[in-house]
Amino acid sequence: MAKSIEVLTTIPFPESVMQRLREVTPHLHITMHPAEKADEIAMDLWNRTEILYTDIVVPEVEAVPNLRWIQYHYAGVDFLLDTPLPEKKDLQITTMSGASAIQEGEYILGMLLGLGHHFAELFQNQLKHDWPTDRWEKFSPHELTNATVGIIGYGSIGREVARLLQPFNCKILATKRDAMNPVDTGYNIEGHGDPEGNLFHRLYPIQALKAMIKECDFVIMLLPLTAQTRGIYDEEVIRAMKPGSFLVVASRGGIVDESALYQALSEHAIAGAALDVFSREPFPAENPLWKLPNVIMTPHVSGFSPNYKERAGMMFAENLERYLHGERLLNKWDPERSY
C-alpha cells in the first residue's frame, strides 16, 4: 500500500479547488489550516508535511524535516532571501507566476488607455463640475492604436499584455533576461499569453534597456525585484524615455526611483504614469506623487481577482501531477536569480 503524502495548505481554497486537488491521487492527505504565521500551526503537523502550499508563512527549517516542496500562492517571493529556508537540502520552491496574468493584463491595458485618454485629469475635471473651453487642447488623446509599447520583463504578464495589444496594431518591444530564448517555460493559462514568443517585434537584453525605451510611446515595468533590478529604473533611464511617453509600473516596488520619476513628471519630461507598486507600502500620504494630475495611483491591486484562487488551484494541481511523476515542476524559484 502506497504511503500517504501529507499536504498542508495555509490558504483556504473553495471546495471546488479542494476537490480538484483530491482528484490528483487518492494518496494525498490534504490539511487546510489557514495561518499567517508559522507558530499558528502545530509542530506535529509541520513534522508530517511533505508539500506546503502557502503565501507568506515561512517555517523554521528544523520544524519541517519531511518538507520537500513549497508552492507559493504568489509570484513574488523575494522575502525568502532573508530566511535560511532556501538552503534546506532537497527542498523545491515554486511560485505562482502566470496565474495572475489575466487580471494583471487587463489592469495594464486599462492603464495604457487611461493614461493616453487623460482619465486622471478628466476625473479631476468632473469633480470640479467644469466644461473647459480648451478641452481639445487639454484632452486630445495619445492613441494606443499604432503606438510603440515597451515591455520591460517579458514574463507571463508581459506576454498577456502583448496578446491583448494585438487588435491595436502596436509595435511591441520587450526585454528578457535571456533574449536568445523567447519561449516561455513557466506556467501558462491555455489561450492566454505568448508561450512561443511570437508577438513581439524585437526582443532586447536588459542591458539595452535605454536604447529600447527611447522608441516607446508607452513603457510597462514588469521586472521582479532582485539585487540586480532594485533601483534599475533610475534618473538616467527615466530621462532616456521618449518625450511625451507614459510609464506603467505593476511588478514590484523598489525598481523605479520614485523621486526621479516625480521630477520627470512634474517637469513634463514624460507625459504621465500609472503606479500600482511602491518602495514603501502603504505609500506615505505626504509623498508629492499623490498630487500630480498626470499620475494614476492604485494601492497594489493589479493582481486582485475573484477568480485567482481557482486559477492558482489549477496550477497547483498541475504541479502536483508533475511532482508525483518525478517531472520538472513549473515556476521553480532560483535563489541565484531571486525569482
One domain, residues 222 and 272: yes
* Domain count of the fold of the chain: 2
Domain membership flag for residue 69: yes
Domain holding 25, by residue range, is: 5-99+306-324
Answer yes or no: is pLDDT of 87 > 90: no
- 339: DSSP letter: -
One domain, residues 223 and 91: no
Q: Tell me if 118 sits within 8 A of 274, measured CB to CB.
A: no
One domain, residues 170 and 288: yes
Give per-residue burial for 43-82: e unless 16+ CB within 10 Å, then b. eeebebbbbbbbeebbbebeebeebebbbbbbbbbbebee
One domain, residues 247 and 312: no
One domain, residues 159 and 218: yes
Q: Using CA atoms, how far apart are residues 94 and 97, in angstroms rounded to an integer?
A: 9
Domain membership flag for residue 251: yes
How high is the pLDDT of residue 1?
Answer: 44
How high is the pLDDT of residue 2?
Answer: 62
Looking at residue 254, its amino acid is G
Domain membership flag for residue 335: no
> What mean pLDDT is reported for the chain?
95
How high is the pLDDT of residue 339?
Answer: 77
pTM of the model: 0.95
Q: What are phi and psi of 228, to 5 degrees?
A: -80, -30
Domain membership flag for residue 336: no
Q: What is the pLDDT of residues 235-257, one digit of tens each?
A: 999 999 999 999 999 999 999 99
Looking at residue 198, its amino acid is N
Q: What is the pLDDT of residues 264-304, one digit of tens each?
A: 999 999 999 999 999 999 999 999 999 999 999 999 999 99
The CA-CA-CA angle for residues 256, 292, 294, to 5°, reads 85
Q: What is the domain-level CATH number for residue 313?
A: 3.40.50.720
Q: Using CA atoms, how far apart are residues 208 and 76, in angstroms rounded to an integer?
A: 24
One domain, residues 48 and 193: no
How high is the pLDDT of residue 278?
Answer: 98
Domain membership flag for residue 27: yes
Domain membership flag for residue 178: yes
Which cell goes with 299?
494601492
